[in-house]
Amino acid sequence: MKEMTYREMGLSDREYEMIIDILGREPNYLELGMFSVMWSEHCGYKNSRPLLKNFPVEGPQVIQGPGENAGVIDIEDGQALVFKIESHNHPSAIEPYQGAATGVGGIVRDIFTMGARPIASLNSLRFGELDDEQVKQLFTGVVAGIGDYGNCLGIPTVGGEVYFNPAYQGNPLVNAMCVGLVNKDEIAYAVAGEIGSPLMLVGARTGRDGIHGATFASEELSEASKEKRPSVQVGDPFMEKLLIEACLELIKEDLVAGMQDLGAAGLTSSIAEAASKKGRGVRVDVSLVPRRETGMTPYEIMLSESQERMLVVPQPGNEKRIAGIFDKWGLDATVIGEVTGDGMFAVYEGGELAGSVPVAALTEGCPVYVREAEEPPYYKACRSFDIDSLAEADPAGVLLKLMASPNIASKRWVYTQYDHQVMTNTVVLPGAADAAVLRVRGSQKGIALSTDCNGRMVYLDPYQGGMMAVCEGARNLACVGARPLALTNCLNFGNPENPHIYWQMREAIRGMADAARFLGTPVVSGNVSLYNETVDGAIFPTPVVGMAGLLKDIDQRCQMAFQSPGDYIVLLGSIGTELGGSEYLYVCHGLETGKVPEVNLEEEKNLIELLLRLAEEGLIKSCHDISEGGLAAAVAECGIKGQIGFNIDMDFQGERKDKILFSEAPSRAVASLEKEKLPLLNAMAAKYGVKVSLLGSTGGEQMIFKNAGIEFINLPVELVTRTWEEAIECHMI
């Protein structure tokens, strides 16, 4: 194997000098490799850590914030939810099937490492335009990879989102979220155990796959990236399923002091993370590591990212019982080293010392950079775009075009490839509401989950867009009747060394932090993926929000489908008119510009509180938040889901129809209710300071829109349904 230079490993000259200072000598090749993966953005967060400090991370519901394998929140009755979202963008770009599959595997391990039974997966995906053959291949491979892995594990994939935009051409985003359920007194934390405790490696054998995966994930994609295909790991979901069952059994029986999964940077990272918890050291003998290939060097063994492996630190005296449980599940567990007290990470090959570095230097020692930020010129240019300079198109044609846009159209092609019902807890199925809802057996409780981010909005205005992502997540949960409790995020950006990108990061994080703080939904876990760029430039800044919430009574859940004819349809929130960043501008005018609608956090919070109250009182029969495609698309979706037409009659008072119908202004939802209940709704909305506009009523087989009595859209429900349901499938044939 040709040796890499430190620059090829992604270290700067300055960082290399730091390593020499720490060691008091030149590092050998193994040590250099260990530093380079631990000091990569992926493991060390060196470009993002100062910005991440802005997130609110505390609240009465928070049991564990950032810093562990996943965040933990209290859902009462002695139970807790464990959740996190993580990226697998770079691997998926060059090997979509395995890249996506192992992304699921990695996030699932983070959850059961905490002692939680994984109960649901979600994913947030971004691709280039769907008419491109390469994009179709990526899309097909990623969805199949997520499906095959999660389906085999028997963890339902209950929700998520998919967007298509040229900004992601060549650099797709694959963010996987997993949620677990655990009894509060059974949460497992990463600890190193006592001095002399053995380190057991369990699961798959170690191969040469994935070496320098973390480094690869921390650089831009290029033509040469394809050569990094060996950096992509290969998944074995069956092995992972056995690991889940065996590890949860160990925790139930209270046999382990600590557990750590092997993810990015493999043994190096998991051992360092585990040892750093108590300032301990470790002594590892790589010759004891079971391998699937011959002739592997200590460097390759320590940096391998072979999947489905766990590091277990037994409680003293329990080694035999642990071995018995692994044997039951047909897994090999091998002692590969022990915990020491000297703070050094010592790697041996048999009797020979192969490398030795201070544990703390690998973890806390990772350099941190505050980069230069500069507002990019496009920001002001886009804000000053004059929407009124555009001609207004035929609204009926626009609506059909929007419903056929892959960003709005049904994601049936995706979610029917995911087993979303295994475990028999999925109460609100994919596509039926703004968030997935799962029951918690043995209680009346329900858990609601969603992922959200509109990358275009974040691009046009990172601060507003960051707020929007958090607000939409919280609103989606409120629409199903669940109180949003906390969030996890996956911050996907371009190269932070570019001041314009760093500015996007800084502003988006500021927006997210402000909204999360205001709405009382702290950030409990997350992941950063930078260098999402190809030769054509950076992706849209895409800070994905995974929101988790709770319904006290699952029978109070609300879905988007209109339930019966003869109900009123109301808009909750202001009538928006801003078209900046809208799907309408993109689909119908080919424009991604404009001043994005501004978030008013007070209004958002009021709406959320009102929605929760309405669900509790059972006042509304359906609810759907307004996002891509605006008011018109939202109402149409409610009609499609319920297979009921409607008659919307508004007074536009001279305002352009496209502005009112297709604005994506935040803090709004469409609801339906029995006619007699309108006064009650009005009274309640007034109490919460939320505007209510009566839009019309449900019924018939046509989707009708009128302006002060004059009809201007009249489309059969059946036609709109087909257009919306089959749009993605038509692309994929």
Residues that bind other proteins (CB under 8 A): 144, 147-148, 151-154, 236-239, 241-242, 329-330, 415-424, 426-427, 429, 439, 441, 554
Looking at the Cβ atoms of 239 and 665, the one nearer to other proteins is 239
CB nearer to other proteins: give 178 or 272.
Answer: 178
> Residue 210 gets which letter from DSSP?
T
State which residue, 413 or 586, has the beta carbon closest to other proteins: 413
User: DSSP characters for 281-350?
Assistant: EEEEEGGGS-BSSSS--HHHHHH---SSEEEEEEPTT-HHHHHHHHHHTT--EEEEEEEESS-EEEEEET
Contact call for residues 599 and 667 (beta carbons, < 8 A): yes
| Cβ proximity to other proteins, 151 vs 165, nearer residue | 151
The candidate with the shortest Cα–Cα distance to 493, out of 481, 502, 484, is 502
Residue 421 CB, shortest distance to other proteins, in Å, is: 5
Distance from C-alpha of 641 to C-alpha of 132, rounded to nearest angstrom: 30
Q: How many C-beta neighbours within 10 Å does residue 328 have?
A: 12
Kindly write down the DSSP assignment for every residue of 661-722, as one continuous string: HH---SS-EEEEE-GGGHHHHHHHHHHHT--EEEEEEE-SSEEEEEETTEEEEEEEHHHHHH
Which of 42, 212, 624, 731 is the catalytic position?
42
| Cβ at position 379, least distance to other proteins in Å | 42
**φ/ψ (deg, to 5) at 130:** -75, -10
Contact present, 630 and 582 (Cβ < 8 Å): yes
Instruction: Please say which residue, 426 or 723, places its beta carbon nearer to other proteins.
Output: 426
What is the side-by-side order of every strand in the sheet holding 436-439? 426-428, 436-439, 446-452, 542-551, 483-492, 523-529
Q: How far is the CB of 417 from other proteins (least distance, A)?
A: 5
Nearest distance in Å: CB 294, other proteins: 24
Instruction: Name which of 373 and 422 has its Cβ closer to other proteins.
Output: 422
With b for 16 or more beta-carbon neighbours within 10 A and e for fewer, the 567-592 pattern comes to bbbbbbbbbbebbbbbbbbbbbbebb
Q: How far is the CB of 246 from other proteins (least distance, A)?
A: 10
Helix (H), strand (E) at residue 71: strand 71-74
Identified catalytic residue from 88, 420, 500, 624: 88
Judged by DSSP in three states, 571 sits in strand
91: closest CA among 215, 192, 182, 208? 215
State the angle between helix axes of 96-112 and 237-252 in degrees (0 to 180), rounded to the nearest 10.
0
Q: Of the two residues 58 and 327, which places its CB atom closer to other proteins in the complex?
A: 327
Smallest separation (angstroms) from other proteins to the CB of 702: 23
Shortest Cβ distance from residue 560 to other proteins (Å)? Answer: 15
Whose CA is closest to 486, among 59, 48, 70? 59
Count of other CB atoms within 10 angstroms of residue 388: 8
Q: Is 88 a catalytic residue?
A: yes
Token representation of residue 487: 């969030």
Q: Which residue has the tokens 């314009």?
A: 500
Q: Minimum CB separation from other proteins for residue 641, in Å?
A: 13
Q: Which CB, 211 or 427, lies closer to other proteins? A: 427
Alpha-carbon span 112 to 326, nearest angstrom: 16
The enclosing H or E element of 17 equals: helix 13-23
Q: Please state the separation of Cα 245 from the chain's center in Å.
A: 25
Residues 6 or more apart from 678 whose CB is under 8 A from it? Answer: 568, 570, 694
624 part of the active site: no
CB closer to other proteins out of 396 and 422 = 422
Q: Which residues pair with 648 in a beta bridge?
A: 696, 705
Smaller CB distance to other proteins: residue 159 or 597?
A: 159
By the 8 A CB rule, do 382 and 464 touch? no
Can you tell me the distance from the alpha carbon of 204 to that of 243, in angstroms, rounded to the nearest whole number? 9
To the nearest whole angstrom, how small is the minimum distance from the Cβ of residue 546 to other proteins? Answer: 22
**For other proteins, which is the closer residue by CB, 243 or 362?**
243
Catalytic residues: 42, 88
